[in-house]
Structure 1
Amino acid sequence: MATLNTLGFIGVGVMGEPICRHLATKSGARVLAHDRDDAPLRRLAQHKVIAASLREIAEQADIIFMSLPSGEIVQNVIRGDGDGANGLLALCRAGQLIVDLSTSPVELSRRLAADLAGAGILFADTPVMRTRAAAEAGTLAVPVGADDAVFARIEPLLRTFAADVIHVGGIGAGQVVKILNNMVLYETVLALAEARAIGTRAGVDPDRLFAAMSVGSADSFALRNHGMKAIAPQNFPEKAFPVVYAKKDLQYAVGLADQVGVDATGAKNLIACFDKAIAAGHGDKYAPAISLVFEGK
């Protein structure tokens, strides 16, 4: 990997903190990081990550990574508020590259990329897939939306925290893949939540139910991870990917479906289930907590 002088990292939350740590320990670059929460910045300081302002990152970094909770926040960071003077669009210089690890609406990513291109700033959408445990292990999967030259430039950096890096097309393609990945995943999680509720009421132990399904045609990543580790034991911790984040991703999927003329009935049904979980007070719990809706909790 070619040595870079400085990388920037904006947003060191649930996924961003371990990703930033891998970049700092494996890339050979100096890493500046920014977040509203000081706690992860203090932990990252042990790995030589330097806390910095957005302006300092824009002034010093060659490549800037973002790992933010929503497209709205991504837009605010890039465009700034008020007169926009505090956004990356105004602060960065021509030739810099912004790599968005967040999940955002496809059209928003394309609009932001166009705005940045007008200022000579490059952009790639690289939303991450898999779990927090995969982020900690450096085994995430990353679909990349970028031109060939940008992909070649960032692929070695992405591989510091990802086991699978796939160039899926131009700007926005990474978001399409991530959004649809989460749509399929959580529609499967919904089916598993229903299966647990039905199975237990019919007298079958949930651990045995899912173990048996894992050697049948219902086997899946969702079954072995979300099903066996969360839904069967009813273990839905906070500080993991929560119901409210999963709902946001599904809303992006339904919005994309509407744009291309597809009536995504399964995704719409899932959003209704997320709404029930949130209304019952489970919005901050790990997203498979939609299971609680079927358990009457």
Structure 2
Amino acid sequence: MTGSSTFGFIGLGVMGEPMCRHLVQKTKQRILIHDINPEPVARLVQAGAVDASSIAGLAKADVVFISMPSGEHLKKICEMPGGILEFARAGQTIVDLSTSPLKLTRELAGAFAAKGADYADAPVARTRAAAEAGTLAISVGANADVFARIEPLLRCFASEVTHCGDVGSGQVVKILNNMVVVGTVTALCEAAAIANSAGVSTATLFDAFSKGSADSFALRNHGYKAVLAQEFPERVFSTDYMHKDVSYALDMARDAGIEAREAALGARLLTEASQAGFGANYWPVIVKIIERSSKKS
């Protein structure tokens, strides 16, 4: 991007605020921001961002980053009267950092293209801590020219940026990543419950796993830090958020005519956890649902 480019960032939640802060600190450019919550706006203004006060004000930016909790929120912020799409213009680039449905992503890309604006899907992976550290992983769906323009900006808050193909491919990769992680953590939770019932502690089990072929990122992060520690805080990636992502994976599977049995199990466990009152908790809390089933048998 040129030195005169203006950037905008809408959606300053758990992930959006630290991402935006890195953008402010590392680009040294004018960053317009907007959120319905005044607290993160105030904090980022202190860091050097500019409160755009409205979507109309934010839409003046040459590159607009969007970080929303769900596809439903993304659709609304783009398509509502006075939304981002209404103000889109030729030469502008829209970058969706949210995890959004594939069909919606392609529909929005087409709508923005009709206004002359480029669109990229760049869903982020890893944790709030990674967002704070600027070490997120991002899978990007965009044409080669758009990717070349936005990659340096994404690297302000990500240590891994992968160009996955045209628009929509970033969402495919991110959604399936989460589907696989849920399957892995579900297996860890089931293994822990079975081991406990046989007199082997979770700590011993996971230590052995870490030295063998069952070792994984999921074990060392979700397994040790949540399942073993029994720590499932709020304002981390929640049960309801993960259920949303697995639901998107199941939608893609249905469209492809594939019966994704393991993903369906993960979705069911996440639903049960939410119904049990854990919807806002860190999603490996599904272990509690598995433990409850083992105690009933």
Could you say what secondary structure the match of 1:280 adopts?
A: helix
**Matches of 2:135 and 2:97, distance apart in 1:** 15
Contact kept in structure 2, 1:246 and 1:287, CA below 8 Å: yes
Could you say what secondary structure the match of 2:292 adopts?
A: coil
Contact kept in structure 2, 1:4 and 1:62, CA below 8 Å: no
Find the counterpart in structure 2 of residue 145 from structure 1. 141
RMSD: 1.3
Contact kept in structure 1, 2:142 and 2:166, CA below 8 Å: yes
**Matches of 1:133 and 1:243, distance apart in 2:** 18
Find the counterpart in structure 2 of residue 199 from structure 1. 195
Find the counterpart in structure 1 of residue 42 from structure 2. 42
Contact kept in structure 1, 2:127 and 2:136, CA below 8 Å: yes
Contact kept in structure 1, 2:88 and 2:112, CA below 8 Å: no
2:226 to 222, 226, 230: 230
Find the counterpart in structure 1 of residue 30 from structure 2. 30
**Matches of 2:193 and 2:43, distance apart in 1:** 40
Residues 116 and 281 of structure 1, relative CA distance in 2, 3 Å threshold: same
Residues 207 and 107 of structure 1, relative CA distance in 2, 3 Å threshold: same
Could you say what secondary structure the match of 1:166 adopts?
A: strand
Find the counterpart in structure 1 of residue 158 from structure 2. 162
For structure 2, the residue ranges without an aligned partner over 5 or more in a row are: none
Find the counterpart in structure 1 of residue 58 from structure 2. 57
**Matches of 1:18 and 1:205, distance apart in 2:** 37
Output the TM-score relative to the length of structure 1: 0.95
**Matches of 1:56 and 1:234, distance apart in 2:** 44
Find the counterpart in structure 2 of residue 259 from structure 1. 255
Instruction: Summarize deviations over 1:227-265 as a string: whole Å, max 9, x none.
Output: 000010110000000000000000000000111111101
Find the counterpart in structure 2 of residue 20 from structure 1. 20
Q: Which stretch shows the higher mean deviation, 247-256 or 204-213?
A: 204-213
Could you say what secondary structure the match of 1:14 adopts?
A: coil
**Matches of 2:288 and 2:146, distance apart in 1:** 43
Identical pairs, percent: 52
Q: Which residues of 2 match residues 1-297 of structure 1 at below 5 A?
A: 2-52=2-52, 53-59=54-60, 61-80=61-80, 84=81, 86-296=82-292
Show structure 1 runs of 4+ deviating over 4 A: none
Q: Which amino acid letter does the alignment assign opposite residue 291 of structure 2?
A: E
**Matches of 1:5 and 1:99, distance apart in 2:** 15
**Matches of 1:243 and 1:224, distance apart in 2:** 19
Cα offset for 1:295? 2.3
Could you say what secondary structure the match of 1:136 adopts?
A: helix
**Matches of 2:193 and 2:39, distance apart in 1:** 38
**Matches of 1:160 and 1:141, distance apart in 2:** 11
Cα offset for 1:115? 0.7
